[in-house]
Structure 1
Amino acid sequence: MKKTKDENTEEQILDAAKNVFQTKGMDGARMQEIADKAGINKAMLHYYYRSKQLLFEAVFKNAFSLLAPQLNAVLNDDSSIEDKVKNFTSNYISFIIKHPYLPTFIIQELNRNPDFILGMKNNKGFPNLEKFKKQVAYEVEKGIIKPIGAEQLFINILALNVFPFIAKPLIMALINVDNEAYKQLIEARKIEVANFIINSIKNT
């Protein structure tokens, strides 16, 4: 009989691979370790994913597919730029608190294999900035916000929200806080970051 792939087994593999890749990176990960963590043998793992690269790409796509809708939802709704900043910051931080491995995992792969993310640009659901660009230009023209390029504003929003997650150990050491205090600090950033950006661009 022809084998059929089981969704539960595939989910176990992706979860196990996510944990191993997150801890050891692509180069340090071993297929045997992933198989052991998934509770299957190595032959079964290779039946589902012929190579470590294919498995890594599947884990990466799965991770990015969780994050991309969060970006798109804010970028393409009809709210004002001020509300977009507030919603993006609140939604993103809440989302990453639930999926703390994502920023480091995605940035790790961007640095290791930049061509892979470029190849995903044409995929359905990849974040699109066109509406955001037009909206920023409109609000600048109307004097609602100060002159700023949409790309620069988006980078500012992204950087201020992403950095505290990818640099968590460094920041905790520099400001001398424990894990619980850091969680409270991150929660407070939902308001702090939004206010900081809005105050920097809003015409008074």
Structure 2
Amino acid sequence: MFQAFKNYISDHIQVSDDDFDFIESFAVFRKLRKKQYLLQQGDVCRYNCFIAKGLMRTYSVDDKGTEHIIRFAMENWWISDRESLATAQPTKFNIDAIEDSELILFEKNDFEQICEKIPAFSKMIADILNRGFIVNQNRIHEAISSTAEERYQNFVKRYPGFALRVPQAMIASYLGIKPETLSRLRNPKTKS
């Protein structure tokens, strides 16, 4: 499992074998079965989580029991609740596995030690966070300014792997539309 992470790091930055050993010394390996939680609403997020294999989602559930998916993440992506991790306050989100998944977890303080000792790793993480901020900013703009069809087409274009792996009802939740609407968008012959 660590080899997948090592390959990911090597694709982004140069790290010595000693640095890899240092990083691995803090790694916690975890496997989740489909539908198993990494984090539940009310828990405090303690980990930065790298997905070595599988597919995850971050979502909340409203008072009516409706799920609101805010994020999907797959192999070679990171997932956590940044707010809960930074503030040590209980999360309002759930993170669970859509598929059986293999994860590498780093506790917050350990992750900070890695960033402190390996500046290139710290810069890589800062770049990832900046790109994530931009993606979220664009997603908000799209949600308030695009039609359901435009949101779906953009989703498929940006994330073709998700469109094939994620159940339709989850994609609809992520896009903020009803599953029936998504079904019509996916099957243009059924449009009125």
TM-score class, shorter: under 0.3
TM-score by length of 1: 0.24
Greater strand fraction, Structure 1 or Structure 2: 2
TM-score by length of 2: 0.26
Greater helix fraction, Structure 1 or Structure 2: 1
Give the structure with higher Rg (CA): 1
